[in-house]
C-alpha cells in the first residue's frame, strides 16, 4: 500500500477527530444506559441503536456501507450466520440487517471486561463467551447456543477464522464450531456472509481512520445442510467476496 501524502494524512485526522469524539461519547453513554436498564428486551434495543449510531458516526470519515443480497436473509430462524472477520465494526454490519433473527455472537471472554458498552452487551445480552484455550469448553458453549437457537428460533453468528484478518486476507476457516452447531440444530438455515474492506477502518487502530473507505457486506444464498461438503462450500462462498 502506497504511503499517503502529508495533506491526505492531515485530512484523515481532521475527519477522524470528530468521529473519535462522537464514538467515545456513544460508547460511554450507552454503557451507562445498558447498566441501568433492567429489561432484557430494552437492552437489546439499546445494543441495536448503538450499532446504528456507530455506523452513522463513521460516515464522518467518509465511510460508506453497502449491503448486497439482503433478500437472502431468512425471515425466521433458526439460523447459523457464518462470516469472515476483519474489524470490530463487523458486528453492527451483520446485526443491523439481521436484527429480526435475534443474532447472538460467540466472543472470547477477554472482551467481557473493561470495554465500554461492548463488555456489558456481551455479558448481559445473551451472547456467548468462550476461552479459546479450552477447546472442550468452547464446544460445550456452541452446543448450548445451538440448543438455544432451536428453542427460540433465533440465530448464532460465528467467525470460523478464529481471529480478525487485519490485512483483509482471509485466514483458513476452522470447521469445528460449524459442525457442532449443525449436528445439534440440523434444521438451521446456513447464511454465508462476506465482509469486504472493513479491515481498512482499523488499519491505524482508528488513529486516524482512513478517509472514504467503502465497506461491502454480501449475504449469499442460503446453503442447504444436506449439501455434501457443506463447510467447504460455505467457506468458498465467503472467500469469493471477502477482501
Question: Sheet containing 64-68: which strands, arranged edge to edge?
Answer: 64-68, 214-219, 189-196, 79-83, 155-158, 103-108, 128-130
Cell of 131: 476461552
228/18 Cα distance (integer angstroms): 50
CATH of 6-241, one of 3.40.1130, 3.30.1370, 1.10.260, 2.60.40: 3.40.1130
Domain spans of the chain?
A: 6-241
Where is 219: in which H helix or E strand? strand 214-219
Distance between alpha carbon 49 and the CA centroid of its chain, in Å?
A: 15
- Whole-structure pTM value: 0.93
What is the structure's pLDDT at 141?
A: 93
What pLDDT, on a 0 to 100 scale, did the predictor assign at position 225?
66
Q: What is the DSSP letter of 14?
A: H
pLDDT score recorded for residue 226: 64
pLDDT at 1: 47
Cell numbers representing residue 137 in the block = 469448553
Residue 23: count of CB within 10 angstroms of its CB: 18
The mean pLDDT values, 10 residues at a time, for the chain of 243 residues are 79 97 98 94 96 98 98 96 97 97 92 92 92 80 95 95 92 94 94 97 94 98 77 95 93
Beta bridge partners, 194, equal 218
β partners of residue 18: none
Q: Is 233 left (phi over 0), alpha (psi -120 to 50) or beta?
A: alpha
Comparing CA positions, the residue from 67, 62, 61 lying closest to residue 92 is 67
pLDDT tens sequence across 101-156: 999 999 888 888 889 999 999 999 999 998 877 778 888 999 999 999 999 999 99
Amino acid at each position: 500500500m502506497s504511503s499517503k501524502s502529508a495533506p491526505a494524512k492531515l485530512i484523515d485526522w481532521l475527519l477522524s477527530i470528530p468521529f473519535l469524539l462522537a464514538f467515545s461519547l456513544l460508547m460511554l453513554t450507552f454503557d451507562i444506559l445498558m447498566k441501568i436498564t433492567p429489561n432484557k428486551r430494552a437492552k437489546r434495543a439499546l445494543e441495536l441503536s448503538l450499532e446504528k449510531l456507530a455506523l452513522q458516526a463513521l460516515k464522518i470519515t467518509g465511510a460508506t456501507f453497502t449491503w448486497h443480497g439482503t433478500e437472502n436473509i431468512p425471515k425466521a430462524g433458526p439460523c447459523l450466520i457464518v462470516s469472515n472477520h476483519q474489524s470490530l465494526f463487523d458486528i453492527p454490519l451483520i446485526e443491523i440487517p439481521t436484527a429480526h433473527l435475534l443474532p447472538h455472537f460467540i466472543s472470547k471472554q477477554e472482551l467481557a471486561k473493561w470495554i465500554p458498552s461492548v463488555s456489558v452487551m456481551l455479558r448481559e445480552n445473551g451472547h456467548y463467551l468462550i476461552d479459546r484455550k479450552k477447546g472442550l469448553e468452547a464446544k460445550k458453549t456452541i452446543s448450548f447456543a445451538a440448543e438455544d437457537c432451536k428453542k427460540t428460533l433465533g440465530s448464532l453468528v460465528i467467525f470460523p477464522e478464529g481471529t480478525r484478518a487485519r490485512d483483509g486476507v482471509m485466514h483458513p476457516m476452522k470447521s469445528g464450531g460449524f459442525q457442532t452447531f449443525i449436528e445439534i440444530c440440523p434444521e438451521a438455515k446456513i447464511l454465508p456472509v462476506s465482509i469486504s474492506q472493513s479491515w481498512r477502518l482499523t488499519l491505524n487502530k482508528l488513529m486516524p481512520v482512513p478517509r472514504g473507505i467503502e465497506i461491502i457486506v454480501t449475504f449469499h444464498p442460503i446453503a442447504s445442510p444436506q449439501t455434501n461438503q457443506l463447510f467447504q462450500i460455505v467457506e468458498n462462498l465467503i472467500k469469493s467476496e471477502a477482501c
